[in-house]
Chains A and B, each alone.
Chain A
Amino acid sequence: MTTAYFLILALLTVSWFLVGRQRASSIAGADPASLHSLPSYHGLFLAALICLPMILIFIVGAPLAERYIEARAFSGLDPATISDELGRSAVLRDIQSVLAGNYAGTATPELTTAASAYSSAASITSWLLLIAGIAAALVAAMFGFRLIGPEFRARNSVERLVKYILLACSAIAVLTTVGIVFSVVFETIQFFSKVNPIDFLFGLQWSPQTAIRADQVGSSGAFGIVPLVTGTLLITVIAIAVAGPLGLFAAIYMAEYASPRTRSIVKPILEILAGIPTVVLGFFAALTVAPFIRGSGESIGLSVSSESALAAGLVMGMMIIPFVSSLSDDVINAVPQSLRDGSYAMGATKSETIKKVILPAALPGIVSAFMLAISRAVGETMIVVMAAGLAANLTFNPLEAVTTFTVQIKTILVGDQEFDSAKTLSAFALGFVLFFFTLVLNFIALQIVKRYREQYD
């Protein structure tokens, strides 16, 4: 029915576009220049007049129709079976399978009645919707049709509409942020109605599995994020310890020493590395790096967890090298040549110039590059999901297993969730903390970069 509606919409749109264009051409007759706007703009104008009311009616009408259909279908049913969301959707599924003729078993008489009520309501509302849509569209189109004439500024109207559409496109970006905030904030508030925020922020134990026995920590699991913070921190520190020096030195070499030829070889290498999906790196971390570290650790008498923070951190560090290096490369390149020249003119060597002049000048940019890299590492999911464990150990030993925010979010939310349980909600609370933290970090970093660029522009 949705398909039919939109097919008719498309058909009307196209036909009225042609009508409008034809009408404008025939008004103009032999002198096309007598029209203010090109005939096709008149056509587009009518097409827009058809589209907008029909889409509007659908957006408003379809949910209303659905409510009405459900109300009709449920009217003859036992209120007990449809008292909650789950029951209602189960009944709806049954009705649909009865209508499709693939209901397993024999349908009860109530169900059959409900199904027929459902289908009659559905056909009535879909016809109503269609008629309303077409009527509104035709009224609008007739109104528009009368406007067509030499003086009518169809182009200006169409262009105004286009501009609003473009504005709407850029509003999507803002709406996405708003959507993210809403999706995490509501659930987080609900979560805090079940779990004390103080316990959440400062609790030393994380075990979201709702306890079965009453004597376990908290009757609804323990939601202290400190172990997650330390775990995330540990892995991030390892990652930055790898990516920081490597990325920065690579950037310095690329910006200051490398010949164009070297650059043209090394840049693609970094780009390839940056383009490798993290799930691939996770596979590598879990199946190659972790056993390797475990093996070499054991050969020198260390006991290493098979899901050590070190493996995940190392590979994550490798992942963010290109990130650090390309951002640092940019900021180093933005340092004006005059600063370098000044230093060389005093007889400084290249490395002295870099250490004493370029890096201090580029420092804000490099700091922000590191901040963005940290935010990337904290938010990275697949590598830690595959290579770091689930054990929420409160430790700073890189050879032990730790867990992170992203791992916990993924673990809690993948698979079947109980609605509104503290466990499910806790994932959103973690998501909120993660989003908030990375947002602040990114925001500060981007502001620093912006200020830095303005300084040298």
Chain B
Amino acid sequence: MNMLSEVDVEKKLYPAPDQPKAKMKGDNVSVFYGAKQALFGVSLDVPEKMVTALIGPSGCGKSTFLRCLNRMNDTISICRVTGNITLDNRDIYDPKIDVVQLRARIGMVFQKPNPFPKSIFENVAYGPRIHGLVKDKHHLDEIVEKSLQRAGLFTEVKDRLHESGTGLSGGQQQRLCIARAIAVSPEVILMDEPCSALDPIATAKVEELIDELRENYTIVIVTHSMQQAARVSQRTAMFHLGNIVEVGDTEMMFTSPTEKRTQDYITGRFG
């Protein structure tokens, strides 16, 4: 577990001058898929109202770590998580925590847009409904509209709210998924390569959106595009083979990475 100390060292070397409050904290997180270990005691703080990017070559455990943050890994029967993850200093793996309520506070957007095969309205309304956030029909309309607006989709779809969500273009679908996630007013939004299935224009739109959402939400985004990490994030964590190699302010990471591996990765020499 010498990686741990490395991270500690790194933290000491680059103390952020105005270290913001950590919304979530992962401490010594290890993940096992059956006998196979995918994460080796990773520790990472997620600062509040900022975008944290997780980068690294594929298969290094970025998605795995992300899915630990809202306990999506619970749905994989062979998956076992050890270590400590907190949200506002509360252990999210505490048996007393209701995972369903947890996921209402930590929303997620997936790699491939996955709207429900239902109407656009129903897609967004589903979350608020099951969480009992709706007072009446009018209130629901309001929530849906606001969420779509925040996701920058409202003007495009306001005339066809009751048409199927699967009929939208890929970029629109992904923004619909973001709208769906923010409809339950989460505090944290996790995004797993949200643009990897989108074309450049749609990507730009989603990136713009992420930048706007930063005001209200804490965001963790997995991306394999360095440029994207540089464009949207303030903090970046570099993963490699189930470990965090380096973590720091994005600007710093891209201009003067301390680690050779980070440098290689950023300049495209591997991964």
Contacts and interface: CB of A to CB of B under 8 A. Distances in A.
Interface residues of B, number: 9
B133 interface: yes
A401 to B, nearest CB: 57
A32 B98 contact: no
Interface string B76-102: 000000000000000000000010110
Contacts of A39: 132
B132 A35 contact: yes
Contacts, number: 19
A32 B130 contact: no
A340 interface: no
A88 interface: no
Contacts of A441: none
A59 interface: no
A47 B77 CA distance: 32
A156 B100 CA distance: 10
A153 B100 CA distance: 11
B209 interface: no
Contact of A38 (B101, B130, B135): B130
A222 to B, nearest CB: 57
Nearest to A159: B100
B134 interface: yes
Contacts of B132: 28, 32-33, 35, 37-39
A30 interface: yes
A32 B101 contact: no
Nearest to B139: A32
A36 interface: yes
Interface in B112-146: 130-135
B132 to A, nearest CB: 5
Nearest to B101: A36
A33 B130 contact: no
Contacts of B98: 36, 153, 156
A30 B132 CA distance: 11
A33 B101 contact: no
A30 B133 CA distance: 10
Interface in A29-45: 30, 32-33, 35-39
Interface in A411-450: none
A37 B133 CA distance: 11
Nearest to B100: A155
Listed residue (B100, B101, B131, B132) with the most chain A CB atoms within 10 angstroms of its CB: B132
Nearest to A32: B132
Contact of B134 (A32, A37, A155): A32
Contacts of B130: 38
Interface in B129-184: 130-135
Contact of B135 (A30, A35, A155, A156): A30
B119 to A, nearest CB: 21
A39 B134 CA distance: 12
19 contacts: A28-B132, A30-B135, A32-B132, A32-B133, A32-B134, A32-B135, A33-B131, A33-B132, A33-B133, A35-B132, A36-B98, A36-B101, A37-B132, A38-B130, A38-B132, A39-B132, A153-B98, A155-B100, A156-B98
Interface of B: 98, 100-101, 130-135
Given A28-B132, A32-B134, 17 more contacts: A30-B135, A32-B132, A32-B133, A32-B135, A33-B131, A33-B132, A33-B133, A35-B132, A36-B98, A36-B101, A37-B132, A38-B130, A38-B132, A39-B132, A153-B98, A155-B100, A156-B98
